[in-house]
């Protein structure tokens, strides 16, 4: 049975001859009832506070759980982000390494090509220099030969000129001789004509012989 302050106040005791003083007992019961009421009131307040605190505690725990979940989620996200970042960093590094290796290999190939081109150009240069040297030597030899040929050519040209001049002089002399011969033949013919007239045609046979000899004499001098 739950005892209340009102129950304490209304509690009655049996009276006896040698019992306690009723007034004192009632006074004490009043005090006890008041104290008990105060205790009950305080208990009620404490119970309310406890309930309130429990409610707050639940709220705090709910917040704590939420914070824990948030922290766990944040940690998981952080770990995931770290892993993703690490994977991305690894991929970037690997891609950069591959590109660097590719560029290095390409540079090496280009360097080898340049070296080969230099070797080829040097060989072409040496070949061209040899051919040019040979060509110059050939040209110098040709110039020497041409100088000799020019001298011989001049001599050959001068010889026909001199021969031609000699022939012209000889022909001129022959023409002069022929002219003199013709004049001489004319004189002989005139002399023969005069002799024929003086002889009055007595020597026709002799004139025929002289006349027959005259063309032969001309032909002999002309040839």
Contact, 29 vs 36, CB < 8 A?
no
Which pLDDT does position 127 carry in this prediction? 92
Which pLDDT does position 211 carry in this prediction? 45
Positive or negative, the Cα torsion across 153, 155, 158, 162? negative
121 pLDDT higher than 90: yes
How do the domains of the chain map onto residue ranges?
5-165
Q: How remote is the C-alpha of 69 from its chain's centroid?
A: 59
* Least confident segment among 113-117, 166-170, 185-189: 185-189
C-alpha atoms less than 13 angstroms from C-alpha of 60 in its C-beta half-sphere: 6
Which pLDDT does position 217 carry in this prediction? 41
Which pLDDT does position 23 carry in this prediction? 76
pLDDT (mean) for 90-109: 93
Question: pLDDT digit string (tens) for 146-157?
Answer: 777 656 555 555
How many C-beta neighbours within 10 Å does residue 33 have?
Answer: 19
Q: What stretches of 1-21 show up as alpha helix (H) in DSSP?
A: 5-10
C-alpha atoms less than 13 angstroms from C-alpha of 53 in its C-beta half-sphere: 6
Q: Is 20 left (phi over 0), alpha (psi -120 to 50) or beta?
A: beta
- From residue 40, give the alpha-carbon distance in Å to each of 1, 44, 111, 122: 15, 6, 101, 117
Q: How far apart are CA 187 and CA 185, in angstroms?
A: 5
Q: Apex CA 153: angle with CA 149 and CA 155, to 5°?
A: 120
pLDDT (mean) for 130-152: 81
104 pLDDT higher than 90: yes
- SS3 (DSSP) at 2: coil
28 pLDDT higher than 70: yes
3 pLDDT higher than 80: no
Structure tokens at 165: 């001049």
Q: What is the band of 118 on the pLDDT scale with cuts at 50, 70, 90?
A: very high
- From residue 104, give the alpha-carbon distance in Å to each of 4, 98, 117: 98, 10, 20
Residue 208 gets which letter from DSSP? H
Q: How far apart are CA 105 and CA 162, in angstroms?
A: 83
Which pLDDT does position 206 carry in this prediction? 43
């Amino acid at each position: 049975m739950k005892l209340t302050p009102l129950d304490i106040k209304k509690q009655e005791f049996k009276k006896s001859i040698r019992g306690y003083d009723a007034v004192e007992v009632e006074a004490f019961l009043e005090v006890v009832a008041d104290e008990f009421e105060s205790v009950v009131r305080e208990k009620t307040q404490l119970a309310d506070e406890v309930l309130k605190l429990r409610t707050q505690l639940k709220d705090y725990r709910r917040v704590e759980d939420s914070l824990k979940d948030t922290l766990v989620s944040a940690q998981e996200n952080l770990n995931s982000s770290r892993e993703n970042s690490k994977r991305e960093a690894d991929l970037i590094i690997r891609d950069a390494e591959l590109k660097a290796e590719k560029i290095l290999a390409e540079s090496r190939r280009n360097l080898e090509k340049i070296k080969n081109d230099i070797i080829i150009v040097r060989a072409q240069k040496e070949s061209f220099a040899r051919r040019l040297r040979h060509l110059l030597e050939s040209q110098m030899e040709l110039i020497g030969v041409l100088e000799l040929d020019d001298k011989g050519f001049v001599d050959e040209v001068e010889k026909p000129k001199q021969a031609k001049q000699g022939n012209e002089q000889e022909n001129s002399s022959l023409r002069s001789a022929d002219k003199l011969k013709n004049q001489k033949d004319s004189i002989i013919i005139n002399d023969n004509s005069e002799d024929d007239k003086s002889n009055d045609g007595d020597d026709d046979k002799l004139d025929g012989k002289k006349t027959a000899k005259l063309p032969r004499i001309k032909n002999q001098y002309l040839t």
